């Protein structure tokens, strides 16, 4: 079975194509959104999703969130015990756990274990980040049939609502960790992405950080938070910021508060203060919009809609900035958290050639420039090395195949070396290196031997390079795929085996596990009498669990949920 | 072979965009793009091409005279060719020239066995940054600096801006930075800088609040005004850069020329600001080089070390060549000629000085011989470029900036092991380029001479290859190694000497994209001369079509225009 997954920075979701439409799949707790959070205890017990997020407050050392921002980097997070490699998990491992949980949700709903998936990535994810995402799928036992850009998926979900023609519209996708802009057009069943641009280091998390940075000196003038271990301090601030930011979505001021030991530190933040703290971030929203519009030569006034996607677009400050930017109100008709997963399921149906979508085609673009490293003579006779020579310009429709010719620079030069890069900088050191290819050339005077370099980029973002030297007839080929830089199948297998050793709660216990994590988090969030009361309720619930009597457990759980709801509404935290 | 977009789309010629999209969609659904990448690219191209044609068709189909304009001119419309749907006049799109004197020299060079080079054109901005051209030479979008895209409110009440009644901050800024202004050669005065900064702040505030299209217009406008106003605009760059985030863009391979230009300048400006601080590593060397006159023979006793001067010059030429204008050329030259004590004076300084000299000797002897070779090469090159009876000192006297540039070029070539002949070629090429670029801006006989020489160059290049011809057309310069008949060389030398004598061989002023109306009669002549079809000529004039036609049409048009005495003669010549 082929499923569509939105693997987000903050939340993830899974959808399937059933009876001619895309349907979201609920997780074990009945929610459509599964927080992208993983918590692993010393004994290898693992929590994924909502309970893991709650454990961030109680067990910050064991818990990881926002790991998508580390995708494609060597950074690892140390969690829990020594499950493998001293408990260091990289973003792929953690993402694989989330993907696995989503696949299990689909299995629970349909009775069939999915084996293939379409996974969404930010349009502005570079090649490394895309490969890492693909590997995460494999670690979770899913063959990633296609990676689709998030704004493209959202555009599908938006555009296929009525399948009618649409003038160019702009998808404004501000997620938890990444920002993408795509200009899309629809006509006669063709969904055409005209241009994409983005900032893969800008998202809702940054707004939280800005808020925390502003509030921290106010609630903690004596720097007492510095005494805490970093993970705990970050977790406290992050939670406080998130809560405060949400409250500011509906009120003109909100409390930024956290509990330190037996004390509650708090300050009131007004919307205006928040807005000015976000000013530098709001300014960064402009550039990708400008770039995307410029690349497809469309004026902002020609856009028929500004479609909002991504949880961070719910923030009033962001909406105001967008309204100011475009001089009109954006379209919030698609669900900002669901659209991407639904679009992924539609893409899955397209890949699977579902009859209901027979008349739909989608064409996307390659959002980055791809090229090779060259050296050139400059006007003063000096040699400038490390320059980037584009072969495929950004925002070219894919699939695409382009050829450039390069020649030798030295007499009797023996080989031509091509560094393959992705990016927009004029000098290669500002770009991402994807690979390297060398080809022997016959010894001749400089400039007399040339090589033809062909780049082919397919719809899944797979890049293939062919180099041909006409003078000698020699050819070389380089396929930039996962196998090229991956630690080898063996290691992948061992990592998969190590992940399999983790202990997961049985699905039927998911509700109990989640409420327990939440209660413990509430205990941390409060002080005084409330805290004591919560402690008492936890004991009662634990007692009910011990009886193993499903009825008593269900009753105790319902009561605990009601009490916690009451506590969390009454107090600001 | 050549399939039209209509045949690829499988429809007849139409102005209906929806029909084109429909046909495209149908073809797209019938193909598997992943297995037919070429077919997909073709289909996409055909669709885009067809949409463009459709727009043109729609535009010509509609009578484009909604309101009564000025009386149509008599005479020149009817004589234009018979085709009813062709526009009455064509615009000749001038190729954009790459600024000053030459493009990057991609000549082969030994000793770099493992590098590759691109057979192609270097990014203009990169070349410009290295050559240190003035902002006026930048090929921008030719926005009129005085027609700002925005007129923010009425600021007459604001005295601090020094606004005249009815003047906007944008206009104030444009006036202060106007490169045509009398004081354009000097930095902003304190009062002017204050006014400019305040005007800029107003404009930036306005941009921050504006909608995206307007903010973009403001940004483009400002980039242009600041680039044109360089170097007077230097103190304003940081603010504008911070507001628009140009720093992120200017390292990009496809940065807009204005932004790339400003980025390179700002880096230089920052360096200059820091080197003026007494603690800076090169502070002493900088101060030494900006003083007019020759360097003292006894500089070794006080003054900076030779090594410091050398590395300052080297680093600066590589990164911020435009800063060299701050230095006194003579002083630079005397430092570059090496250690004075290596000649006869050392005996006066006894053993201590001697040991220092020995330490320096290895480095300076090669430098000295390089200087000697440079002088020698220049002695051969200057008469070759300006005719017998002219020498280096004459050139230093008449056009010191050009002399400095030629000297630096010669030195660099020799340093890289090139022959004296290569230096001569290079010098001829640079002088030729400047004669043309400056001569084209003149009027009367000088303009004619410049364009006659240009025609000869294009023909010489054409006889070699079409590529060479296109190269001349685009770069404005015939490579020194391509021979020109001797009588033309004589004319060329005399013309260059004439311009230099009157101080008109300086850095050419740049211009934006130029175009001129070509009257129908002239086009008929070009069609007759080239024996190309009218369509091909039309295409070539708008910068499309193949190179051979482009070359032939350029030559014919230049030839015919020189003989033409009708309207627009000067305008047309100036685009060629």
User: Taking a C-beta distance cutoff of 8 angstroms, is the pair A193, A173 a contact?
Assistant: no
Q: How far is B179 from chain A (nearest CA, A)?
A: 26
State whether residue A562 sits within 8 Å of chain B by CB: no
Check B212 against A388: CB less than 8 A apart: no
pLDDT at B66: 43
Average pLDDT over residues A426-450: 86
User: Taking a C-beta distance cutoff of 8 angstroms, is the pair A387, A375 a contact?
Assistant: yes
Check B130 against A413: CB less than 8 A apart: no
Least confident of A395-399, A449-453, B191-195, B341-345: B341-345
In sequence order, the β-bridge partners of residue B364 are none
From chain B, the residues in CB contact with A382 under 8 A are 318, 412
Check A374 against B104: CB less than 8 A apart: no
Average pLDDT over residues A278-306: 91
Buried b (16+ CB within 10 A) or exposed e, B453-469: bbbbbbbbbbebebebb
A:B CB pairs within 8 Å = 188
From chain B, the residues in CB contact with A397 under 8 A are 40-41, 44
Instruction: Tell me the C-alpha to C-alpha distance, in Å, between residue A452 and each of A477, B37, B482, B547.
Output: 12, 18, 29, 22
Q: How far is B114 from chain A (nearest CA, A)?
A: 6
Of how many residues is chain B composed? Answer: 576
| SS3 state at B6 | helix
Mutate to test the interface with A, among B115, B127, B313 (most CBs of A within 10 A): B115
Average pLDDT over residues B331-344: 62
- pLDDT over 80 at A237, yes or no: yes
pLDDT at B62: 55
- pLDDT over 70 at B136, yes or no: no
Backbone torsion region of residue B115, taken as left when φ is above 0, otherwise alpha when ψ lies between -120 and 50, otherwise beta: beta
Locate A454 and state its tokens. Answer: 């062909």
- pLDDT over 60 at B90, yes or no: no
Residue with more model confidence, A45 or A87: A45
pLDDT at B77: 35
Q: How far apart are CA B152 and CA B209, in angstroms?
A: 11
State whether residue A538 sits within 8 Å of chain B by CB: no
State whether residue B182 sits within 8 Å of chain A by CB: no
Asked if the peptide bond before residue B444 counts as cis, ω within 30 degrees of 0, the response is no
Residue-wise pLDDT for A334-387, tens only, equals 999 999 999 999 999 998 888 888 888 999 999 889 999 988 766 555 677 888
What is the band of B147 on the pLDDT scale with cuts at 50, 70, 90?
low
Please name the member of A373, A377, A379 whose beta carbon is closest to the beta carbon of B109.
A377
Least confident of A90-104, B241-255, B481-495: B241-255
Residue of B nearest to A191 (CA): B25
Mutate to test the interface with B, among A376, A423, A424 (most CBs of B within 10 A): A376
| CA dihedral over A110, A111, A117, A119, signed as positive or negative | positive
Interface of A with B in 394-423 (CB under 8 A): 397, 399-401, 404-418
What is the band of B164 on the pLDDT scale with cuts at 50, 70, 90?
low
Residue-wise pLDDT for B165-175, tens only, equals 667 788 888 88
Locate B498 and state its tokens. Answer: 């004439």
Residue-wise pLDDT for B5-32, tens only, equals 899 999 988 889 899 999 999 999 999 8
Residue of A nearest to B106 (CA): A377
How much is the pTM?
A: 0.68
Instruction: Tell me the C-alpha to C-alpha distance, in Å, between residue A293 and each of A28, A185, A530.
Output: 42, 13, 54
| % helix, strand, coil for chain A, step of 5 | 40, 30, 30
State whether residue A273 sits within 8 Å of chain B by CB: no
Residue-wise pLDDT for B270-284, tens only, equals 888 888 888 888 888
What is the band of B61 on the pLDDT scale with cuts at 50, 70, 90?
low
- Three-state SS string over A360-382 comes to CEEECEECCCEEEEEEEECCCCC
pLDDT at B368: 65
User: Taking a C-beta distance cutoff of 8 angstroms, is the pair A181, A172 a contact?
Assistant: yes
**What is the pLDDT of chain A when averaged over all its residues?**
88
Residue with more model confidence, A434 or A175: A175
Q: How far is A473 from chain B (nearest CA, A)?
A: 18
The number of beta carbons lying within 10 Å of the beta carbon of residue A430 is 15
Cα B369 to chain centroid distance, Å, stands at: 34
Instruction: Tell me the C-alpha to C-alpha distance, in Å, between residue B473 and each of B459, B465, B484, B537.
Output: 11, 13, 16, 16
Locate B298 and state its tokens. Answer: 């006894």
- pLDDT over 80 at A77, yes or no: no
Buried b (16+ CB within 10 A) or exposed e, A381-400: bbebeebbbbbbbbbbbbbb
Residue-wise pLDDT for B534-549, tens only, equals 888 877 877 777 778 8
pLDDT at B302: 65
Q: How far apart are CA B564 and CA B529, in angstroms?
A: 14
Q: What is the H or E stretch that residue A120 is in?
A: strand A116-121
Q: How far is A128 from chain B (nearest CA, A)?
A: 20
Please name the member of A189, A325, A427 whose beta carbon is closest to the beta carbon of B251.
A427
Locate A252 and state its tokens. Answer: 């003109």
Least confident of A526-535, B155-164, B500-509: B155-164
pLDDT at A190: 92
User: Taking a C-beta distance cutoff of 8 angstroms, is the pair A103, A114 a contact?
Assistant: yes
For the ranges A468-472, B83-87, B394-398, the maximum mean pLDDT occurs at: A468-472
Of how many residues is chain A composed? Answer: 573
Residue of B nearest to A443 (CA): B113
Residue-wise pLDDT for A316-339, tens only, equals 999 999 999 998 999 988 999 999
Check A377 against B38: CB less than 8 A apart: no
From chain B, the residues in CB contact with A301 under 8 A are 213
- pLDDT over 50 at B382, yes or no: yes
- pLDDT over 60 at B510, yes or no: no
pLDDT at B338: 58
State whether residue B418 sits within 8 Å of chain A by CB: yes
Interface of B with A in 258-277 (CB under 8 A): none
Q: Which residues contact B293 (CB under 8 A, 6 or more apart)?
A: B328, B330, B331
User: Taking a C-beta distance cutoff of 8 angstroms, is the pair B572, B561 a contact?
Assistant: yes
Q: How far apart are CA A276 and CA A9, in angstroms?
A: 25
Q: How far apart are CA B268 and CA B325, in angstroms?
A: 12
Please name the member of A187, A290, A376 whose beta carbon is closest to the beta carbon of B117.
A376
Mutate to test the interface with B, among A181, A379, A437 (most CBs of B within 10 A): A379
Q: How far apart are CA B338 and CA A572, in angstroms?
A: 77
- pLDDT over 90 at A95, yes or no: yes
Average pLDDT over residues B561-575: 80
Buried b (16+ CB within 10 A) or exposed e, B358-371: eebeeebeebbebb
ipTM of the predicted structure? 0.84
Check A426 against B41: CB less than 8 A apart: no
Locate B62 and state its tokens. Answer: 């509609």
Q: How far apart are CA B510 and CA B393, in angstroms?
A: 28
**What is the pLDDT of chain B when averaged over all its residues?**
72
Q: How far is B406 from chain A (nearest CA, A)?
A: 11
- pLDDT over 50 at B148, yes or no: yes
């Amino acid at each position: 079975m082929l499923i569509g997954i939105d693997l987000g920075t903050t939340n993830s979701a899974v959808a399937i194509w059933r009876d001619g439409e895309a349907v979201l799949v609920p997780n074990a707790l009945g929610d459509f959104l599964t927080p992208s959070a993983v918590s692993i205890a010393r004994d290898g017990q693992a929590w994924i999703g909502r309970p893991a997020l709650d454990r961030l407050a109680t067990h910050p050392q064991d818990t990881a969130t926002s790991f998508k921002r580390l995708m494609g980097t060597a950074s690892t997070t140390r969690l829990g015990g020594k499950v493998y490699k001293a408990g260091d998990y990289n973003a792929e491992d953690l993402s694989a756990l989330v993907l696995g949980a989503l696949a299990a949700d689909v299995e629970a709903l349909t009775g069939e274990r999915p084996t293939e998936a379409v996974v969404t990535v930010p349009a502005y994810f570079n090649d490394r980040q895309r490969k890492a995402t693909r590997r995460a799928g494999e670690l979770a036992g899913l063959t990633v049939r296609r990676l689709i850009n998030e704004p493209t998926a959202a555009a599908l979900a938006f555009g296929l609502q009525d399948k009618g023609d649409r003038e160019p519209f702009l998808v404004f996708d501000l997620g938890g960790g990444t920002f993408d802009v795509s200009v899309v057009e629809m006509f006669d069943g063709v969904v055409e992405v005209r241009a994409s641009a983005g900032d893969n280091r800008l998202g809702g998390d940054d707004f939280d950080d800005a808020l925390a940075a502003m509030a921290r000196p106010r609630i903690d003038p004596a720097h007492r938070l510095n005494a805490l271990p970093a993970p705990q301090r970050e977790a406290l601030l992050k939670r406080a910021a998130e809560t405060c930011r949400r409250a500011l979505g509906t009120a003109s001021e909100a409390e930024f508060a956290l509990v330190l030991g037996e004390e509650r530190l708090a300050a009131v933040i007004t919307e205006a203060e928040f807005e000015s703290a976000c000013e530098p971030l709001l300014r960064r929203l402009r550039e990708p919009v400008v770039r995307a519009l410029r690349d497809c030569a469309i004026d902002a006034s020609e856009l028929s809609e500004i479609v909002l996607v991504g949880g961070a677009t719910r923030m009033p400050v962001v909406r105001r900035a967008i309204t100011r930017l475009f001089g009109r109100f954006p379209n919030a008709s698609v669900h900002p958290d669901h659209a991407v997963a639904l679009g992924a399921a539609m893409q899955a149906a397209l890949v699977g050639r579902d009859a209901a979508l027979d008349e739909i085609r989608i064409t996307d673009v390659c959002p980055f420039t791809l090229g090779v490293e060259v050296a050139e003579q400059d006007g003063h006779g000096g040699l400038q090395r490390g320059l980037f020579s584009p072969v495929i310009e950004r925002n070219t429709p894919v699939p695409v195949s382009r050829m450039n010719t390069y020649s030798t620079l030295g007499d009797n030069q023996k080989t031509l070396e091509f560094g393959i890069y992705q990016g927009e900088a004029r000098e290669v050191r500002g770009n991402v290196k994807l690979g390297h290819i060398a080809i022997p050339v016959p010894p001749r005077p400089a400039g007399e031997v040339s090589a033809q370099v062909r780049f082919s980029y397919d719809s899944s973002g797979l890049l293939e390079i062919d180099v041909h030297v006409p003078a000698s007839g020699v050819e070389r080929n380089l396929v930039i795929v996962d196998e090229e830089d991956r630690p080898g199948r063996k290691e992948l297998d061992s990592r998969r085996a190590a992940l399999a050793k983790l202990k997961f709660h049985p699905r039927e216990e998911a509700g109990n596990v989640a409420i327990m994590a939440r209660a413990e988090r509430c205990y941390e969030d409060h002080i005084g009498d409330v805290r004591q009361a919560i402690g008492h309720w936890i004991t009662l619930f634990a007692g009910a669990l011990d009886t193993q009597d499903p009825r008593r457990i269900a009753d105790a759980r319902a009561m605990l949920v009601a009490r916690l709801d009451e506590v969390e509404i009454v107090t600001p935290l | 072979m050549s399939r039209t977009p209509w045949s690829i789309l499988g429809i007849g010629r139409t102005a209906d965009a929806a029909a084109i999209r429909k046909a495209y969609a149908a073809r797209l659904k019938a193909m598997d793009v992943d297995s037919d990448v070429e077919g997909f690219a073709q289909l996409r191209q055909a669709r885009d091409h067809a949409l463009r044609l459709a727009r043109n068709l729609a535009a010509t189909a509609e009578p484009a005279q909604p309101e009564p304009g000025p009386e149509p001119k008599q005479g020149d419309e009817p004589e234009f060719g018979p085709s009813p749907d062709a526009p009455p006049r064509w615009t000749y799109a001038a190729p954009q020239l790459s600024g000053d004197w030459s493009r990057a020299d991609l000549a082969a060079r030994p000793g770099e066995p493992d590098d590759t080079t691109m057979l192609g054109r270097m990014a203009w901005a990169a070349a410009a940054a290295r050559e240190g051209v003035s902002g006026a030479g930048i090929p921008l979008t030719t926005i009129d600096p005085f027609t700002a895209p925005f007129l923010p409110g009425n600021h007459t009440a604001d005295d601090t801006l020094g606004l005249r009644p009815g003047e906007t901050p944008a206009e104030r800024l444009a006036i202060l930075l106007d490169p045509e202004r009398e004081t354009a050669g000097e930095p902003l005065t304190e009062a002017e800088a204050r006014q400019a900064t305040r005007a800029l702040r107003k404009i930036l505030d306005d941009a921050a609040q504006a909608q995206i299209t307007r903010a973009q217009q403001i940004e483009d406008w400002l980039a242009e005004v600041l680039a044109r106003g360089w170097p007077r605009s230097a103190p304003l760059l940081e603010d504008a850069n911070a507001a628009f985030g140009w720093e992120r863009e200017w390292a990009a391979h496809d940065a807009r020329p204005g932004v790339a230009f400003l980025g390179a300048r700002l880096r230089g400006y920052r360096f200059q600001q820091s080197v003026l601080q007494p603690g800076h590593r090169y502070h002493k060397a900088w101060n030494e080089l900006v003083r007019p006159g020759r360097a003292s023979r006894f500089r070794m006793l006080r003054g900076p070390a030779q090594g410091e001067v050398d590395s300052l010059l080297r680093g600066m030429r590589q990164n911020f060549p435009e800063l060299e204008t701050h230095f006194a050329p003579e002083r630079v030259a005397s430092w570059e000629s090496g250690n004075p004590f290596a000649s006869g004076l050392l005996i006066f300084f006894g053993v201590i000085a001697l040991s220092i000299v020995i330490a320096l000797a290895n480095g300076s002897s090669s430098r000295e011989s390089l200087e000697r070779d440079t002088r020698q090469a220049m002695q051969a090159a200057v008469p070759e470029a300006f005719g017998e009876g002219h020498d280096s000192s004459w050139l230093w006297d008449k056009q010191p900036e050009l002399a400095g540039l030629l000297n630096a070029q010669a030195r660099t070539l020799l340093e890289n092991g090139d022959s004296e002949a290569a230096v001569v070629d290079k010098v001829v090429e640079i002088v030729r380029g400047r004669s043309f670029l400056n001569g084209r801006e003149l009027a009367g006989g000088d303009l004619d001479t410049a364009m006659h020489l240009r025609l000869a160059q294009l023909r010489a290049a054409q006889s070699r290859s079409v590529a060479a011809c296109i190269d001349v057309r685009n770069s404005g310069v015939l490579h020194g190694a391509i021979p020109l008949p001797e009588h033309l060389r004589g004319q060329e030398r005399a013309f260059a000497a004439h311009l230099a004598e009157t101080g008109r061989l300086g850095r050419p002023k740049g211009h934006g994209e130029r175009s001129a109306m070509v009257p129908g009669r002239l086009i008929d002549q070009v069609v007759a001369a080239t024996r190309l079809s009218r369509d091909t000529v039309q295409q070539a004039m708008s910068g499309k079509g193949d190179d051979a036609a482009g070359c032939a049409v350029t030559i014919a048009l230049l030839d015919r225009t020189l003989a033409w005495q009708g309207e627009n003669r000067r305008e047309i010549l100036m685009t060629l």
